[in-house]
Amino acid sequence: MNENPLGHESISKLLKGFAIPSITATLVNSLYNIVDQIFIGQGIGYLGNAATNVSYPLSTICLAISLLIGIGSASRFSICLGKKEPERAARIAGNGIFFMAVAGILYLIVGEAFLTPLLTVFGATGEVLPFARQYAGITLIGMPFLILTNGMSNLIRADGKPKYSMVCIVAGAILNTILDPVFLFLLDWGIAGAALATILGQFLSFFLAMRYLWRFQSIRLTKESFRMDLKDSLQTFYMGTSSSINQVAITIVQIVLNNSLTHYGAQSVYGKEIPLAACGIVMKTNAILLSIIVGISQGVQPIIGFNFGAGNYNRVKQAYLLAIKWNFAVSLVGFILFQFFPRPIISMFGSGDPLYFAFAIQFMRTFLFMALVNGVQLLSSNFFTAVGKAIKGLLLSLTRQVFFLIPLILLLPLQFGIWGVLLAGPIADFIAFVASILAVRREFKRLDAQSS
């Protein structure tokens, strides 16, 4: 068997080869969520945008499940390949795929059973709830497909096929983008049409991902690989905890944010619905920037994991630092757009009265003020996961969302009203950035000591 290029190829070339397809996949995936928002905003109005916003936590919970199993499996898979243990890697992959399927079915059942109370908790108002129930009730059907696709894409990338991983995600996103205007405008199916377009795109991605089960190049999956192994699964969950809990924290933040905005919005000239709709647009716009950073993180994970398993600690550090440089370059572009061109961005999502635009523009500029450094925390927490230190990755992933952002969202409005909600974002981002730099710097010193 030829030597794995992850162990000797230049870090720059490897990161381009792994990260660019991953960035493409995550970016297109994020863009089709934006396209949904644009078409719904143009076809239904800001109540439709608010409905997709309060439904969004269902998708982030779904992503948290897929990351728990997918990132956990892929991280262990990469380390095993670095240690030249392909049979163990096959067991990890098969066991992970089995649990992805089980988790997807259970999530669909629970989500449909408790849909209305969940949407109410997520911040749906009386006017928004009918749209949200219709949209979320349909999109939940696609969640099992989404969990398997996202989980498999991590394994496919770890197997050295980042381009095929990209194709799986991109194909579904393209189909959704094509079907959205057809179902919304040509067939006049309303918000239900947008939801149907979403699940059809997810099914196509799922079909392509499942085809790879017979195409793994580093391992060979057999029936025995798919047997449930609770001990093995717990190790996988441990490795995926950091990425998963980060998504759960994002969901909690979204819920707290939605409810805070409606509460303090009702006490302001903006009312309840304007802040809720503006929040959905700003958060999904920021998701485009974050999707690129996630793509960089996913692309660098196999490089870090393999070289850590092989004991090549200098290459581990080089890969992380190069990923950080890429992050800063991308985040600078995002910062410029958010600060200097907010109105053109917001206008893409439909029309609204002057109060709507005034609040949405201020929301984008204030809440995303520290976008330049926001990705460092995400890359750093995933770095710890890739080197097998999931607890450190977990703690770091919680710094922004749980330790800082949620308390600030709850406390600052007591003094500053609805503007306190907006100020919570940049303050939490800066504190998380400092904590990430200190944690990684300490870990680098440990790697240096092990190398000497």
Residues 133-157: pLDDT tens digits? 988 899 999 999 999 998 898 899 8
pLDDT, mean of residues 2-27: 81
Most confident of 167-171, 230-234, 362-366: 362-366
CA-based nearest residue to 55, from 118, 125, 136: 136
Q: At what angle do helices 46-82 and 374-386 cross, to 10 degrees?
A: 30
- In sequence order, the 6+-apart residues with CB closer than 8 A to the CB of 311 are none
HSE-CB for 250 with a 13 A CA cutoff: 22
User: Hey, what amino acid is at 106?
Assistant: L
Residue 413 pLDDT: 94
DSSP calls for 178-201: HHHHIIIIIS--HHHHHHHHHHHH
What's phi and psi for 387, nearest 5 deg?
Answer: -95, 15
Residue 452 pLDDT: 63
- Residue matched to tokens 């300490």: 442
Q: Is the dihedral of CA 260, 263, 269, 273 positive or negative?
A: positive
More confident residue, 391 or 340: 340
Cα separation, 15 vs 31, in Å, equals 23
Residue 46 pLDDT: 67
pLDDT, mean of residues 77-104: 87
Average per-residue pLDDT for the chain: 86
Cα separation, 421 vs 412, in Å, equals 7
Cα separation, 240 vs 151, in Å, equals 11
Residue 1 pLDDT: 43
What's phi and psi for 273, nearest 5 deg?
Answer: -75, -35
Cα separation, 390 vs 396, in Å, equals 10
Neighbours of 223 (CB within 10 A): 7
User: Does position 439 have pLDDT exceeding 80, yes or no?
Assistant: yes
HSE-CB for 134 with a 13 A CA cutoff: 15
pLDDT, mean of residues 250-262: 85
User: Does position 33 have pLDDT exceeding 80, yes or no?
Assistant: no
Let me know: does 197 contact 183? Beta carbons within 8 Å. Answer: yes
User: Does position 354 have pLDDT exceeding 50, yes or no?
Assistant: yes
Report the number of secondary-structure helices (H) and strands (E) in the chain.
Answer: 17, 0
- Residue matched to tokens 């890969």: 319
Where does residue 4 rank: exposed (0-12), middle (13-18), buried (19+ CB within 10 A)? middle
Cα separation, 226 vs 2, in Å, equals 27
Residue 368 vs residues 53, 65, 146, 421: alpha-carbon distances, Å: 18, 27, 28, 12
DSSP calls for 346-404: HHTT----HHHHHHHHHHHHHHTTTTTTHHHHHHHHHHHHHTT-HHHHHHHHHIIIIII
For the CA atoms of the chain, what is the radius of gyration? 21
Cα separation, 348 vs 303, in Å, equals 38
Spell out a b/e string for 406-431, using b for 16 or more CB atoms within 10 Å of the CB, else e. bebbeebbeeeebebbbbbbbebbbb
User: Does position 433 have pLDDT exceeding 90, yes or no?
Assistant: yes
User: Does position 199 have pLDDT exceeding 70, yes or no?
Assistant: yes
Let me know: does 198 contact 36? Beta carbons within 8 Å. Answer: yes
Neighbours of 94 (CB within 10 A): 24
Q: C-alpha 148: how far from its chain's center? A: 15
Most confident of 186-190, 274-278, 315-319: 315-319
Entry field: residues in the chain: 452
Cα separation, 63 vs 29, in Å, equals 12
